[in-house]
Structure 1
Amino acid sequence: MELAVTVHHARLGPRQFTVIRPRRPLTRAVLIDRDRHLDVLLDQNAARCVGGLWELAASSPRSLVHLPLRGNATPPLDPTEDAPRQLDLVLLHHSLQFAPSRWKEMRARLGAGRPRTVTVPATGRPVGSVIGVDERHYRENRDLIDEQVHAETLFLTGSAKVFRETSGRFFDIALHGFAHVRAHPRNPHYCTEFHSTEGVLGNAREIHVQYCEQWRS
């Protein structure tokens, strides 16, 4: 699939960093901090785009992939009564060694960026573990996603392998969520999860990803 992005550059001290953002706003996607876990709610187009950006994070270890999501309207089915704590999302390779505590400073230095079109796999990898479950739980396993939150932004840091392996979960939502809602209007819930027990998450909370067709304007 072709993915329309903008590429930005910002310097912090002696280092210059590259930040990649989706060119079109993901208006039907939200990331909500539920304290004990994280919720990602999105529609079909947003799920496909997030899957592509997840793949881009796997193939661009020298870049930060930034998804501006804060302030988006939430779906009417969202159970939160009060205004939820929404976060932006940044995906980055652990070898980049970027300090999330400096994100606010760097974000302020990003300009308009230059448009670019990149090609990423259209369907992602198979849903489920490509790496064996036993292998994932070895102490030496470094193909894990870790989490930090700074400046209203969730940072997910991992290896190319773990981003590539888990991108298919979003493509699954894009491919099957719409059909499920049409076939089961009384039970429209279609989701996938990043579980703490499956050996994908390191120092990170569980992530619940749900397809939502109806959105507030």
Structure 2
Amino acid sequence: MISKSMSMKLKLTPELSEFIGMHIGDGTLYKTNRALVWEMRGDLKEQSFYDNHVIPLLKILFNDDFKGKIRTGGKRGVYGVQTTNKSLIQTIISFGINPGRKSNISIPEDILNSNFLIQTRFLRGYFDTDGCVRFDKPNKHKIAYYPKIEFASSSKKLRDDLKLLLRRVGLESYTWDVKNKLEFKLCLAGKIKTLFWIKNICSKNPKHLDKFLKWLKLQIN
């Protein structure tokens, strides 16, 4: 843990790598007239994810009393955390992530070139905030059982970095571009890759965990 006043770069730990993944997935860093502000927010249904995982992780890393809050946004409002904590903000910037739009964001080299645990924890943080898992019905099967883990980004560099990082942990993926939307997508498909993901990366977000658990029950039955 560090004090609020420190601005030096933190040692890259699995917990910090996961936080960087969360920020790249759904965090926002922006300037106001008074200060730099960081926030991350999601659907109201994700409140338990924020209260039980995101906020405790922030407290461990940055030694501050972070609080979740319902805010305006979307159709029904959103839930998340907002702060001007200098240690948190300086840590993000120290990894080469600047305030503003994410159209050119990338995965920090420190994470791309790190060990398996650091890499997989980044993947978990990114997946929990900006990934999805769904199930298709191949060959007109009655049950949607074929798993796909997918990501979409406005940054081609981020998508390409993600493909490289996945390869380094042992997962091959395929990519495609949605040109009329300036959207860059990536997919991991199939049982073997999904089982690898669950074993080595998994999720802390109940919306993903519930889907994985239901799918695993299908494999048993």
- Structure number, greater radius of gyration: 2
TM-score w.r.t. length of structure 2? 0.27
TM-score w.r.t. length of structure 1? 0.28
Greater share of strand: 1
Greater share of helix: 2
